[in-house]
Amino acid sequence: MTALEGKVALITGAARGQGRSHAVTLAAAGADIIAIDICHQIDTVAYPMATPEDLEQTRRMVEDQDRRILTHQADVRSLAQLQAVVEDALAEFGRLDIVLANAGIAPSIDQEDDLSAAFANVIDVNLTGVWNTVRACEQALIEGGTGGAIVLTGSTASFKAVGAGSAGSSAEAYIASKHAVVGLMKAFALKFAPHRIRVNSVHPTGVATPMVLNEAVEAWIAVNADALAGSLQNALAVELIDPVDVSNAILWLVSDAARYVTGVALPVDAGFTIK
């Protein structure tokens, strides 16, 4: 029997990048998947966001693992949309065991942008979206009666002011949202402990995904090279980690191997935060 045989996992931001990797990794471990992504552009995001075609690719990759998958285009900023997804998922699978609140956006990095709108969008997706995701799944997890596991996606920016003070950056919103995810995780861990639902967070360094590997980020790093010199380097000799490195940490956190691990903010950062 595989580690997650018979389990059902809901994942936001699942069309590509880390979310897709989590979906495939958990499916390979035996879980059926509910994959959610907005699949359209938010106007203050400088890089291209995921598409419906990306979400369909995730579907195919999960099905290649001989697991079932339900895909939905939904916006984590809308609690009602997420609640509708959970209702549909319960009708399809009859249970919910694992929740990965992974959806997130990076801030606008254009000085010409409306910084107020960019700040609001980052907070709405990266923080309120996480809260909405857990709230939408709460009743299903509790009423399942068998416990469960929730993992929130943070960042090394949950611990350090990564990129703050760089010209042209509205990194304040990203740093604030990711710091707040840690507090939210700890509050949820206490709230759900009586129901045997564990809550943790993961905090990656730079990951080789479309959020990082794009022309907008490359241009920002080039313009701010002097201010950023050395500040984006990991302790281990790797520039970017792979999405599966984060997925493997999550797989452990949601498995019975971590059955008494809750309230933990786990760096997956190649030593970035010890520098």
Give the residue numbers annotated as catalytic, written as ranges. Answer: 174
What are the tokens at 183?
Answer: 């507090």
Asked whether the beta carbons of 122 and 169 are under 8 A apart, the reply is: no
What b/e readout covers 143-167, taking b as 16+ CB neighbours within 10 angstroms? ebeeebbbbbbbbbbbbbebbeebe
Tell me how far apart the alpha carbons of residues 219 and 197 are, in angstroms, rounded to a whole number.
42
User: What residue spans of 74-231 are helical by DSSP H?
Assistant: 79-93, 115-123, 129-144, 171-192, 215-223, 225-228
Mode of pairing for the β-strands spanning 265-268 and 197-204: parallel
CA atoms within 13 A on the CB side of 265: 18
8 contacts: CB under 8 Å, gap ≥ 6: 31, 32, 33, 34, 89, 93, 95, 96, 97, 98
* Residue given tokens 């997706």 in the structure block: 125
Tell me how far apart the alpha carbons of residues 149 and 251 are, in angstroms, rounded to a whole number.
10
